[in-house]
Structure 1
Amino acid sequence: MTNEYISSKYISNEGKENQRVHKSYISTLNTQNQIDYPKAISLPKELLKFYLCNENSIKVLKNQEIWASHPSQLNDPFDCSIELWEDNSFNNELLKDYLKEINNDNNFLSASPFRIKKEILGTLQALLGIYCLTETETDQQDLFWGYYNNHEGFAIKYDIDKLSKAWGNPFLVEYCNDLETQRILVRFPKSHAANEDILKIFYPRLLRWATIKKRKWGHENEWRYVFFDCCYSPISNEGNQHTRLKSLPSNSINEIILGFAFFRDHINRKKTKKISPYETKYDFSKKEDQNKLELLTILKKYESIPLYQIVFSPNLKLFPRRIYIKEIREKAVYIVEGRIKTD
Structure 2
Amino acid sequence: MDNYISNTCNGISFKYSNDGVKTNPPFIIPENLYKFYELNERNVNALIQKYLFASHPYLLNDSFDSSDGIFDFKEIEEAVFKGFFKNHLKEKYCDEKISEYYKKDQCQNFKEFRETFVSSLSNKFGTISLTTNCKNALMWSHYTSEAGFCIEFESDELLGNYKILNSDIENLFFRPMEYVKEIKLLKYTRKEFMGIAVPFLYMTTVKSRQWEYEDEYRISICKRDMDVPFHRKYLHLKDHKGENDRFFRYKDSAIKSIILGQNFLTNNYIHISNNAILRIEISQESIYIETFINLLFENYNDNIYIIGKTQENGLLQRGVQRIFFERIKLNEFRIIYTDEKYLL
Q: TM-score, normalised by structure 2?
A: 0.82
- 1:286 Cα deviation from its structure 2 partner: 4.8
Look up the equivalent residue of 1:88 and give its one-letter code: K
- Measured in 1, the distance between the counterparts of 2:79 and 2:4 equals 25
Counterpart check, 1:216 vs 2:202: no
Tell me, yes or no, if the aligned pair for 2:54 and 2:221 is still in contact at 8 Å: yes
- Measured in 2, the distance between the counterparts of 1:12 and 1:171 equals 15
From 298, 303, 307, the equivalent of 2:300 is 303
Q: Deviations over 1:227-265 (max 9, x none)?
A: 121522133442336431111134101110000000014
- Measured in 2, the distance between the counterparts of 1:129 and 1:328 equals 43
Tell me, yes or no, if the aligned pair for 1:90 and 1:114 is still in contact at 8 Å: no
Structure 2 partner of 1:147:
142
Judged with a 3 Å threshold, the aligned counterparts in structure 2 of structure 1 residues 100 and 109 are, in CA distance, closer, same or farther, namely farther
Counterpart check, 1:59 vs 2:51: no
- Measured in 2, the distance between the counterparts of 1:261 and 1:137 equals 16
- 1:132 Cα deviation from its structure 2 partner: 0.2
Structure 2 partner of 1:342:
342
Judged with a 3 Å threshold, the aligned counterparts in structure 2 of structure 1 residues 300 and 328 are, in CA distance, closer, same or farther, namely farther
- 1:12 Cα deviation from its structure 2 partner: 2.0
Structural mapping, 1:283-302, within 5 Å: 283-287=279-283, 288-302=285-299
- Measured in 2, the distance between the counterparts of 1:126 and 1:268 equals 40
Structural mapping, 1:225-264, within 5 Å: 225-229=219-223, 231-235=226-230, 236-240=238-242, 242-264=244-266
Counterpart check, 1:97 vs 2:99: no
Q: TM-score, normalised by structure 1?
A: 0.82
Structure 1 partner of 2:277:
281
- Measured in 1, the distance between the counterparts of 2:294 and 2:73 equals 52
Gaps (5+ residues) in structure 1? 14-18, 27-31, 193-197
From 142, 166, 174, the equivalent of 2:178 is 174
From 37, 61, 67, the equivalent of 1:81 is 67
Structure 1 partner of 2:188:
188
Judged with a 3 Å threshold, the aligned counterparts in structure 2 of structure 1 residues 43 and 79 are, in CA distance, closer, same or farther, namely same
Counterpart check, 1:43 vs 2:29: yes
- 1:9 Cα deviation from its structure 2 partner: 2.4
- Measured in 2, the distance between the counterparts of 1:84 and 1:267 equals 44
Q: Aligned pair count? A: 311
Structure 1 partner of 2:154:
159
Q: Counterpart of 1:317 in 2: which secondary structure?
A: strand
- Measured in 2, the distance between the counterparts of 1:80 and 1:220 equals 16
Q: Counterpart of 1:61 in 2: which secondary structure?
A: helix
- 1:267 Cα deviation from its structure 2 partner: 10
Judged with a 3 Å threshold, the aligned counterparts in structure 2 of structure 1 residues 117 and 297 are, in CA distance, closer, same or farther, namely same
- 1:128 Cα deviation from its structure 2 partner: 1.6
Structure 1 partner of 2:195:
201
Look up the equivalent residue of 2:65 and give its one-letter code: D
Judged with a 3 Å threshold, the aligned counterparts in structure 2 of structure 1 residues 340 and 53 are, in CA distance, closer, same or farther, namely same
What's the C-alpha RMSD, in Å, of the aligned pairs?
2.6
Gaps (5+ residues) in structure 2? 163-171, 231-237
Judged with a 3 Å threshold, the aligned counterparts in structure 2 of structure 1 residues 305 and 228 are, in CA distance, closer, same or farther, namely farther
Tell me, yes or no, if the aligned pair for 1:153 and 1:262 is still in contact at 8 Å: yes
Look up the equivalent residue of 2:147 and give its one-letter code: E
